[in-house]
Structure 1
């Protein structure tokens, strides 16, 4: 068979199997389609499908096919991260800066500390830290992975729970937005390459000047032109960031951050996010699954994932519980917000992909982080739904 035919077989698998499992299994309550797609990517990877059916795995996922899939996946994730950057609304966070900074700081800081402690535990055993990592990069990277909140998936889940446009949903978006900025800022610090620091500083200076000019241009053109110019800007920023030694995903995020969400119709932006998730992000999930590894032993990987999950969940809930006490929230509100901000899925997987690309973590660590992200996201809706119901009942009684 030709490479094109095998590539289409892979695409057929990518889109059919997760959908059938999600639809026929009715998993939406605990595992939305995006989570099922991530799980299917793991199952189709070398650790499961490759181990059970190595000949079939090598036939479908040959080097040329993987190269083609990786190209689609790279553009898909750049679009997704770019949209996440555009959707950040820091003006609302600034309006409520006192409450937002306390909450976001604790929501990020406590799981960061516990995740860093978990990373120190992993450092006692070989096989977890990447070949090019310094100890501080590994510890900070793992700690931040435990603290990540996936803003785009959080939006999807809050839409599902019918709280996105409510005051509670808007508050949670403010907290998540501030943490999103911090996450990518820390990633930039981790990726600082002292051999190419001149390039990185030069890129940031050029980016700052270009951003001012780009914003002036975008204000003067109609919306239909803004979409095209935005995509050109995305590709240019991704190229510049990757050339400088940061990463094309860092470039994609900052390309979106300097853009204003109100330049675009909100319904159009929602549709774009939906279509990116529908049409091309499943390819990214598959390519992510192809990077999983169980070389240090399946039990060890699952043990590391459990350790990271415990650090992430305990840290997020403790941080939001402390914020609730400081700010005088209603009883149970901190726990509810903590579970919602626990949503990880895509952003943490993207974050971990960058760490793996830069050899800061190994494939085994990446696999453990991936399992942790899936588990934490699957816990969100089942843990939040009854709490929302009790909160609504309490409000109705008053």
Structure 2
């Protein structure tokens, strides 16, 4: 009887994945039809299959289709897709792409982090009392405030790449400046998040936090001094000695082991996958792209839709009451004002016309999957309660959707004599119809 029950749970998981993939494709196409990035459709798919929409229908359909016994399996599957996505994200952040107009990139990156970060901390003071207790435990205010500041500061640079490619703006100064600034800003944001998550994992204790920071520093040193050159040698040998077919499996295993290492340290496994991507060799790119990048992106594309449904199962718009809607209005205003102001004024200071500078600000306001990852980290570490998690998912959805309609009115093709910041062309492949992974 137990064996039959286990078989039924496995069959349910398979059916759930099939349903998620089909609904994801339908809403992804709908998003493209209204000129929205794919991630908007995928977020909506997760919300639609969760308690916010499907759960409102008679028969308790969400719990019947996604029973409690199946959810740990769905979560594990989604984590594999997420970690491979984070590896590719780190690999795409090639520091050489930040060469060129360094002053402009540094200014926009700094402004688009500092301003929303400060406003996020201020907003945290306003909403903290309503969300201070999670799972029966009091959340430390400064952990909560710093976390919310980081959530306000993040930009999803793969989403930018897709929006720019769709609008034919990928080679403009506005597009390349926003893309490079988002890449640099996200590295800083991930580092800050690692520190805050270390605080949360340590429970506010100075000794525990110091241990996590110490082990994290040791991990970074090992990755840079030992793992990076070993990866270079291993990659070269496999390419030279006919082991290229196994290269993607070896690299995927390394990314997962790196994630395991950061979990042992006390910080989220996404940082391990991301760091492994940072130290992964990028040359010879023509050989590594078809052998490693495309296969791993293909797996991520297949599994990431499951991540959206796992997220959607924790989103319940019906649970929001009057004060939560005020929190949504506040946080949405802080998110948009912080990013747009924080990026627009530095862009203007570096020489862009006001309209183009505002285009940079609108682009830097997109959050996409990057924001969802940060929100799920906060939910798993019990920094966010369910209601605030729902509010922040809606903020991520709106700020991602808002860029597309505004850009045609804000961004013009630059004159030929204006030198653009070096583009990041490989990122644009994350969400093309012929590419393995949609942009997030």
Same fold (TM over 0.5): yes
Residues 19 and 33 of structure 1 are in contact (CA less than 8 Å); yes or no, is this contact kept in structure 2? no
1:44 corresponds in structure 2 to 49
Q: Does 1:56 align with 2:61?
A: yes
Given the superposition, is the C-alpha separation of residues 243 and 72 from structure 1 closer, same or farther in structure 2, using an over 3 Å criterion? same
Does residue 180 of the first structure (1) align with residue 203 of the second (2)?
no
1:259 paired residue among 280, 300, 307: 280
The more displaced of 175-184 and 154-163 is 154-163
Q: 1:172 to 1:221 in 2, by over 3 A?
A: farther
1:360 counterpart SS class: coil
CA apart distance, 1:162: 2.1
Q: Residues 90 and 202 of structure 1: is their aligned pair in 2 closer, same or farther, counting only changes over 3 Å?
A: closer
Which residue is 1:371 aligned to? 394
Q: Which residue of 1 aligns with 2:373?
A: 350
| Preserved CA contact (<8 Å) 2:107 2:347 | no
Pair 1:250 & 2:261 matched: no
Match runs of 1:141-220 below 5 Å: 141-192=147-198, 193=202, 194-195=207-208, 196-197=211-212, 199-218=215-234, 220=236
Unaligned runs of at least 5 residues, structure 2:
419-440
Match of 1:309 in 2: 332
Whether the 8 Å contact between 2:159 and 2:366 is mirrored in structure 1 is yes
Determine whether 1:100 maps to 2:131: no
1:134 equivalent in structure 2? 140
Structure 1 residue 127 displacement after superposition: 5.3
CA displacement, residues 115-137 of structure 1 (integer Å, 9 cap, x when unaligned): 22211111142457674632111
- Contact 1:301–1:367 (8 Å) recurs in 2: no
Match of 1:341 among 348, 364, 369: 364
**For the Cα contact (< 8 Å) 2:248–2:295, is it kept in 1?**
no
SS in 1 for 2:139: coil
Report if the CA contact (8 A) 1:45-1:291 is conserved.
yes
Q: Would the alpha carbon gap of residues 26 and 152 (structure 1) be closer, same or farther in structure 2, given more than 3 Å must change?
A: closer
Give per-residue Cα distances to partners, 1:281-310, cap 9 Å, x unaligned.
110000111122458634443432322221
Scaled by the length of structure 2, what TM-score is found? 0.81
Aligned pair partner of 1:359 in 355, 366, 382 = 382
Matched-pair contact (CA < 8 Å) for 1:122–1:128: no
- Comparing 107-116 with 42-51, which one deviates more in the overlay? 42-51
Counterpart residue number, 2:70: 65
Moved over 6 A (4+): none
Matched, 1:327 2:333: no
State the partner residue of 1:235.
256
TM normalised by structure 1 equals 0.89
1:44 CA drift (Å): 1.8
Q: State the 1:241 CA deviation.
A: 0.3
Residue 34 of structure 2 corresponds to residue 18 of structure 1: no
My pick for the range that moved more, 265-274 or 142-151, is 265-274
CA distance in 2 between partners of 1:48 and 1:15 (Å): 18
* 150 and 167 in structure 1: CA distance in 2 versus 1, 3 angstrom threshold: same
**Take 1:202 and 1:232, find their aligned partners in 2: how far apart are those partners?**
21
Distance 2:149 2:194 in 1: 15
Offset from partner CA, 1:153-175 (integer Å, 9 cap, x none): 22222222222245543332221
**How many Å separate the matches in 2 of 1:128 and 1:27?**
39
Q: 2:302 aligns with which of 269, 279, 283?
A: 279
- Higher deviation after alignment, 372-381 or 355-364: 355-364
CA distance 1:26–1:293, change in 2 (3 Å): closer
Once the 2 structures are TM-superposed, how far is the Cα of residue 141 of structure 1 from its aligned partner?
1.0
